[in-house]
A and B are shown apart, each in its own frame.
Chain A
Amino acid sequence: MAIGAALYAVFSWFFNATVFVVPSLSQVALRPAVAIPMFFGYAFGPVVGFFTGIVGNTFGDAISGFGLSPQWSVGNGLIGFIAGLPALFSDRKRSANAVLWIGGVLTALATVLYFMNSSETNMMFFDPARDVYGDQPIALTAGISVLIGFILVLAVRFGFGKNVDVAAAVTWGMLGNLIGIGYAALSDIWINGYSFVTAIVGEFLPAAGPNLIFAAILVPLLVVAYAAVQKQSGR
């Protein structure tokens, strides 16, 4: 638990524009650290995943000096928690397929909402060097990033069809991301007074989309590397 949370905090700190400024591509800010709660949730169970997400995000915010965002920390906890749920299913392949369907429906709904409200501002995109503080209309890339991420997850699911571990880790990580970030964005309706459309199009899409891309690329790398370590150590 502590290791996952500490790693998540350190990666968040390094990549939250404090040490390394990772470039954004057409408003899609890169936050690779989110792969940590997904991986720890999948490898060590939902409780560890939840702790990694919630405590890691809290400590990461604390050392970044941006204060705390309790609802986003809980959202990150949910990512890890849901990523750890495949341990409860005896047939991982079937559960992963069911999760893909749920993820597909959520992705389609969010993307349709984006096309209906494409003039919304991207609340998650900040570029102080260019005087941008979450006030630019959401770019097409950011708006469809959830769709791109979902397609990548789909590709990994069927590309690694025989490796159930990778397929399950990625698909459950995807669901965790959609629900966790969805929870955090929707809670801002109550906390910050955002409208439903602002919460989904302005917050959820630009945050959840890039996370899905990380789920699809970094989580398989970690799962494969961890499997090799387990094989070597015999534990």
Chain B
Amino acid sequence: MLIPWRYRKRERSFIQSFDPRAWLIFYVCFLFSTLTFWDVRYLIPFLAFAVFTLISSRIQWREIRRSFLFIVGFVFFFSIMTFLTGRGGVEVYAEEHLIRRFEASFSILGWTPALDITVERIFFALSQFTRVASMAIMTVLIPFSLNPALYGVTFKGLGLNDKFAYAMDLTMRFIPTFARDFQLTVDAQRARGYELEHFSGGLIEQVRKMGPIFVPVVIHAIIGSEDIIDAMDLRAFGIGPRTWIDVLERKTRDRILIWVGVILLVGSLALGFTGYGMFWAPTAL
């Protein structure tokens, strides 16, 4: 079975025009900057930038549809739930200004279901949606845009030591191998009458039945790793600094992106600490 890596090289993609290290630094700065604010007026530019990045990423809709609908749909649903129940926002605002109250015409044990539409609830739900959607859109793009083959050298470039950077590289390489081993094990167990799709019994029994898949795959991988350890030892891994086949080059545009990210983060934190960007709802309503 083939592992479907989501990454493709895309021509004229905005996100892919940058060095992956620069983009990751910018992404982290963007994430923490977004988290600083609850004011929808401050958050809208973040959402606008996230949407711009999504559109300019050249990712086809059919590629991203499933994950995009799932994540944004969930964020939308959660914001609606927050609006309907009023939960979540109560820690942010103290009083509510009622616009309209809808009351059911029936009562259940003396309790009449009612929905209060208040200015604060509307704006808290809007802020929540804008904030989480901005982060979700920027995050969902990463697996589609950063080449997994460069994860190791990227993290090495971000200051991780050789051991961890190489482990990331190896992880990426092992995934297809272990996926194949997993499939072989499943097929072998099926030949013995094992039915993964038709688990029966209670919760504990179902978990126990996963043992015949788990144990052989994990133990086989650990035993197989001995050869890799020997090969690495023979090549004196860990004695001196490593070199990498792929070399990343940081251009002027990458440096600009990093600086934009850092300035954005410092500016956002400064605004946050001085009391700007807290939850806001228009008083005129």
Q: Which of A5, A36, A195 lies in contact with B90, CB distance below 8 A?
A: A195
**Bound CA–CA A5/B164 (angstroms):** 12
Determine whether the beta carbon of A14 is less than 8 Å from that of B222. no
Q: Is the contact region of chain A dominated by helix, strand, or loop, or is it mixed?
A: helix
Q: Which of A51, A59, A225 lies in contact with B172, CB distance below 8 A?
A: A59
A88 adjacent to chain B (CB < 8 Å): no
Q: Tally chain B residues at the interface, Cβ within 8 Å.
A: 74
Which residues 6-56 in A have Cβ within 8 Å of B in the complex?
6-7, 9-11, 13-14, 19-23, 25, 28, 30, 32, 35-36, 39, 51, 55-56
Determine whether the beta carbon of A2 is less than 8 Å from that of B215. no
Determine whether the beta carbon of A19 is less than 8 Å from that of B1. yes
B73 adjacent to chain A (CB < 8 Å): yes
**Bound CA–CA A214/B211 (angstroms):** 10
Q: Which of A1, A39, A67, A195 lies in contact with B142, CB distance below 8 A?
A: A67
Which residue of chain B lies nearest to A32 when distances are taken between CB atoms in the complex?
A: B210
Determine whether the beta carbon of A30 is less than 8 Å from that of B222. no
Determine whether the beta carbon of B197 is less than 8 Å from that of A20. yes
* B237: A residues at CB distance < 8 A: none
Which residue of chain A lies nearest to B198 when distances are taken between CB atoms in the complex?
A: A23
Q: Which of A55, A61, A192 lies in contact with B171, CB distance below 8 A?
A: A55
Determine whether the beta carbon of B66 is less than 8 Å from that of A65. yes
The segment from A107-115, A178-186, A216-224 that touches chain B is A216-224
Determine whether the beta carbon of A229 is less than 8 Å from that of B67. no
Determine whether the beta carbon of B131 is less than 8 Å from that of A217. no
**Bound CA–CA A188/B122 (angstroms):** 21
Determine whether the beta carbon of B171 is less than 8 Å from that of A2. yes
* A22: B residues at CB distance < 8 A: 199, 206
Determine whether the beta carbon of B73 is less than 8 Å from that of A191. no
**Bound CA–CA A217/B217 (angstroms):** 17
B157 adjacent to chain A (CB < 8 Å): no
A163 adjacent to chain B (CB < 8 Å): no
Residue-wise interface mask of B (36-74) relative to A, using a CB-CB cutoff of 8 A (1 in contact, 0 not): 001000000000000000000000000000110011011
Which residues 16-54 in B have Cβ within 8 Å of A in the complex?
31, 35, 38
* B206: A residues at CB distance < 8 A: 22-23, 25, 30
Which residue of chain B lies nearest to A196 when distances are taken between CB atoms in the complex?
A: B91
Determine whether the beta carbon of A225 is less than 8 Å from that of B175. no
Determine whether the beta carbon of B171 is less than 8 Å from that of A59. yes
Which residues 62-84 in A have Cβ within 8 Å of B in the complex?
62-63, 65-70
Q: Which of A3, A28, A121 lies in contact with B222, CB distance below 8 A?
A: A3
**Bound CA–CA A2/B208 (angstroms):** 26
Determine whether the beta carbon of B178 is less than 8 Å from that of A68. no
Determine whether the beta carbon of A226 is less than 8 Å from that of B222. yes
Greatest chain B CB density within 10 A among A193, A217, A226, A233 is at: A193
Determine whether the beta carbon of A3 is less than 8 Å from that of B174. yes
Determine whether the beta carbon of A134 is less than 8 Å from that of B77. yes
20 further A-B contacts with Cβ under 8 Å, apart from A3-B222, A65-B4, are A2-B166, A2-B173, A3-B221, A5-B168, A20-B196, A22-B199, A23-B206, A25-B202, A28-B203, A66-B71, A67-B71, A67-B140, A135-B77, A141-B203, A190-B35, A193-B131, A193-B132, A217-B204, A225-B215, A229-B222
23 contacts between A and B (CB under 8 A): A1-B167, A1-B170, A11-B182, A20-B196, A25-B202, A30-B206, A32-B210, A32-B214, A55-B167, A59-B172, A59-B175, A61-B143, A62-B142, A65-B66, A66-B67, A123-B78, A134-B77, A134-B78, A193-B89, A222-B218, A225-B218, A225-B219, A229-B222
9 tightest CB-CB pairs across the interface, nearest first? A67-B140, A2-B170, A6-B174, A62-B143, A1-B167, A5-B171, A2-B167, A10-B178, A2-B171
